[in-house]
Structure 1
């Protein structure tokens, strides 16, 4: 950047920066104790907390949360922490503004040579150019400056085609310790360019914002300027293409808008509309006032320190509101997570209650099960499977086998239908309720449904296991009456079914109708004591509920797994962000 005669030369500026502890003094002012390891650690902890946060796409709070997260994280990584770690960070001046405002022309004019191209098709839209002294190129090439941004060193004049890449232009015309950045248009038709421009502005110590006499009232211009106001960023504004006719009224109106938006203290410059451009630069002395201003900022250590400190402190101060706002977006998603989880719990809780009620009210025994029971009970074949003495047991068991098998199948079908229908209704209910939450329908699609036959197989396996367990209880030592144990043997499977029919609510059916045949209770009492029968019944019911509960939990888990896979934040994430904000405020 060319300087007026009064400004110190590069050697003087370099000597001033490195001598008499001036750099150390600047560092202390920047960070409110930048040399304090505790302050740096608190910033690192804040960064770690923010980096660990994830938002679930499409759900409430995700877009706002990701924007807030990226905004704070980038400024921490690209601006705050590099200046805390390196007191001798070069002064970065970002030239930003409206399309066609002449930013590239101004950069070339301030540098004193053409380092970036100009024209209707501005390549800075694709590849921003950073001009600095050759001695500073390594700093801007390091990972400490915008570490995620690809960059390339300029070989000749920067040309289009390097979209998203920073071009480093070394120039002996630039003093050491100062860099000029030609940024993308803030009102570009491409949204990604807005984010690109904001990223560079977040990393700058001083903004030189350029807009035109025709576009200075555009909303996009004031969005960026209000960010500078809210963060107390050091700012100079340039109104370009100002016509001679009506000049004073135009400048007065622009100044009034700055005042009205809380930017009355910003340094202001104007570039006439009639100035000619040659070789990518203004031919007249148009840029001299701006060049002089920037040279004074760069060359006067006190003024430079005032500019950098103001921006640094303004950014750190802005975290008082920006980090809690991020925490609030975390809370929005936490609330959504809790709502979705509550819907799952309620649906499957109701399914469990539905199953429990059906096991008690006798509804399972009605229909086919009852018909099969009456068929086998009325025939007397169950009684004949008892053997006091003699050789007729085998024939009795063989005769009863078809009816026993039919009853067993009816019982299994009834239980399987009960569990499957309850699980299906719960899944449909969760899907419908999730679909009513914005973005929840997409999340519901992550629910990993399985073929009905797979769930049916698991139900059958669970129920078969339960039947085996009931048989074990019936045949355990001490289960039968002592008075008949020496004389009576019985068919295990048959009496397992008798007990199961009793457990599935037969008494409720018997109480509501006549002619249902011999009751399971009456048949069982002949073999088992009342206490033993009651104990077996309680244990068998509990075991059945437990197995069905496990089946429903497995179905429920597929929803909770989909919810967990969405990556929604936890309530503790918001708490930690509030705590990190408090720690940062204390450290300042």
Structure 2
């Protein structure tokens, strides 16, 4: 946006008709009112007022008796209040801003007016740095209620001027409860940053309050939010900007908010120089029209040094004072202004609440995507483990060598003997046999441990890599890594394998498994037989039948043939099925524990619940039905 050149136009009398201009700084006469007059409700021609859209007069602001409407609004407010957003994830920044915006307007503007429709009309004077808002407020009130100065930003604590009869309504119990405030005593004095100063004065008519707000383009970012909070709670905006700053982007951001909410508003262009006056006003007026703000009442204040006691000494602000007196002079007219703003705010929820719901949906979708990454990674880990447990791929290296030692040494046959017959093996032979069987047992545990630990580590790496590619995912990864769960997976896996082997030994000793005739006449070492069954479960036969070199080179009887001889095919299938499912359940439990840090990081990320977006859409529908 650009400003016109003011070099060639010096005629003050050429003020555009769309503005009501104040007098020159050197004049003692009230300048002509050039703004369009509006019909008042009684049909008399009065000063300029905020025009209402066609058909607006038939609506009314809901009263405190409209319990259904208030209940719907309260439900909406609670749903918005309960929303949480996960830091850094898609929709978080936008969602929090929309949440704060909707919540503030519900809590500070809409609900108070539903509960008490007779509350004072709040006029907020807002605008650019150095625009003279505080001077204008003092001039409108007729006495000093707020402090001006050369320091920028000047208004570090907003001042609210009202009649003493109204001051209690603006206490913490009724007006923006979260905001601290102090009551002004005597001469206007600034409060602390972030504190509202209440200035009770008989100069203000009862039923009307005037608020001097922080600069909307302040160098202090907190002032922007502060200004927005008060504008959200106001019935009428008097927006003041200067001839040097009216095209600034920050000015138009606030003006467009008023446009989108159909807020009752007047616009004041201050510090207008005599030279180029008409071109400035033309350009500003064209910008208002182009941005959908042609309905706003418009005023101009010339450059002037006629200021004393932080007020204008001449009648510079009379035209604005008359406008406000006209707007706020009668209860019916005040209701007309507040009604327009109120209905505009309610109408704006048709788009603002669904937009908030869309940001919630973005967070939910991101949460689902992150959760799916964890599910897929650990599901793939389980599938890899299941495949490796049955295809014989573990029967190589150390495990294969230990199995070959056991079979070559005849340890399987020697572990069996006729019942009632004592073993005549010497101690050294028994020790050697025990060493070979123990080595096989260790090799089984090492192979299974390595398989599960490797699969779990690959799953964790996959989750970490995928999460880090998502905006905000780095923080979730760091949170997960900072809380690993405290379990030593390798150690726990060895413990699980030992318990699993003992359970297999118990299965082979069960009555149903030993009723076969051969088992009635032969006793055997159940721990050794459990190892044989583990070798069979790990896919010895699949590798052998498939031509696998490692398993095919093993000597001795095949595990399956030996086991069938002891238990029979049916019992063997039953024992094998139970043992296989037992191991799978243990591995699933370990993988589930390994994913806990990721699940915990995700569940603690304040991602909205799946039904929260639906509830917001439903609340929007309920609001339309109840209005």
By the TM > 0.5 criterion, same fold? yes
SS of match in other structure, 1:31:
coil
Task: Tell me the CA shift for residue 285 of structure 1.
Answer: 0.8
Corresponding position of 2:544: 510
Deviates more, 1:264-273 or 1:425-434: 264-273
Corresponding position of 1:369: 399
**Residues 420 and 158 of structure 1: is their aligned pair in 2 closer, same or farther, counting only changes over 3 Å?**
farther
Q: Does 1:577 align with 2:616?
A: yes
Distance in 2 (CA, whole Å) between partners of 1:453 and 1:245 is: 79
Task: Tell me the CA shift for residue 161 of structure 1.
Answer: 6.1
Corresponding position of 1:17: none
Please say if residues 55 and 66 of structure 1, whose CA atoms lie closer than 8 Å, have aligned partners that are also in contact: yes
Q: From 124, 129, 141, give the equivalent of 1:111.
A: 141
Corresponding position of 2:493: 459
Corresponding position of 2:7: none
What per-residue deviation string (whole Å, max 9, x for no partner) do you get for residues 120-160 of structure 1? 12575321111111222211113321111111112344545
Q: From 554, 573, 578, give the equivalent of 1:539.
A: 578
Q: From 514, 520, 542, give the equivalent of 1:480.
A: 514
Please say if residues 114 and 279 of structure 1, whose CA atoms lie closer than 8 Å, have aligned partners that are also in contact: yes
Q: Does 1:414 align with 2:444?
A: no
Runs (5+) with no aligned partner, structure 1: 5-25
Corresponding position of 1:20: none
User: Higher helix proportion, which one?
Assistant: 1
Distance in 1 (CA, whole Å) between partners of 2:57 and 2:440 is: 87
Q: From 525, 549, 552, give the equivalent of 2:564.
A: 525
Q: Does 1:561 align with 2:600?
A: yes
Q: From 269, 277, 283, give the equivalent of 1:253.
A: 283
Q: From 97, 122, 141, give the equivalent of 2:127.
A: 97
Q: From 587, 590, 596, give the equivalent of 1:548.
A: 587
Corresponding position of 1:36: 66
Q: Does 1:424 align with 2:457?
A: yes
Task: Tell me the CA shift for residue 452 of structure 1.
Answer: 8.5
Q: From 349, 356, 368, give the equivalent of 1:338.
A: 368
What per-residue deviation string (whole Å, max 9, x for no partner) do you get for residues 51-71 of structure 1? 111110111110011111110
Please say if residues 180 and 196 of structure 2, whose CA atoms lie closer than 8 Å, have aligned partners that are also in contact: yes
Please say if residues 128 and 242 of structure 2, whose CA atoms lie closer than 8 Å, have aligned partners that are also in contact: yes
Please say if residues 27 and 34 of structure 1, whose CA atoms lie closer than 8 Å, have aligned partners that are also in contact: no
What per-residue deviation string (whole Å, max 9, x for no partner) do you get for residues 445-479 of structure 1? 11145388722222222222211221121111120
Deviates more, 1:442-451 or 1:196-205: 442-451
Please say if residues 56 and 567 of structure 1, whose CA atoms lie closer than 8 Å, have aligned partners that are also in contact: yes
Runs (5+) with no aligned partner, structure 2: 1-29, 31-55
SS of match in other structure, 2:553:
coil
Q: Does 1:391 align with 2:422?
A: yes
**Residues 69 and 577 of structure 1: is their aligned pair in 2 closer, same or farther, counting only changes over 3 Å?**
same
- Cα RMSD of the aligned pairs, angstroms, is 2.0
Corresponding position of 2:5: none
Task: Tell me the CA shift for residue 92 of structure 1.
Answer: 0.5
**Residues 464 and 144 of structure 1: is their aligned pair in 2 closer, same or farther, counting only changes over 3 Å?**
farther
**Residues 450 and 334 of structure 1: is their aligned pair in 2 closer, same or farther, counting only changes over 3 Å?**
closer
Please say if residues 123 and 160 of structure 1, whose CA atoms lie closer than 8 Å, have aligned partners that are also in contact: no
Corresponding position of 1:219: 249
What per-residue deviation string (whole Å, max 9, x for no partner) do you get for residues 519-544 of structure 1? 21232233211110111111111111
Q: From 165, 176, 188, give the equivalent of 1:146.
A: 176
Please say if residues 237 and 269 of structure 1, whose CA atoms lie closer than 8 Å, have aligned partners that are also in contact: yes
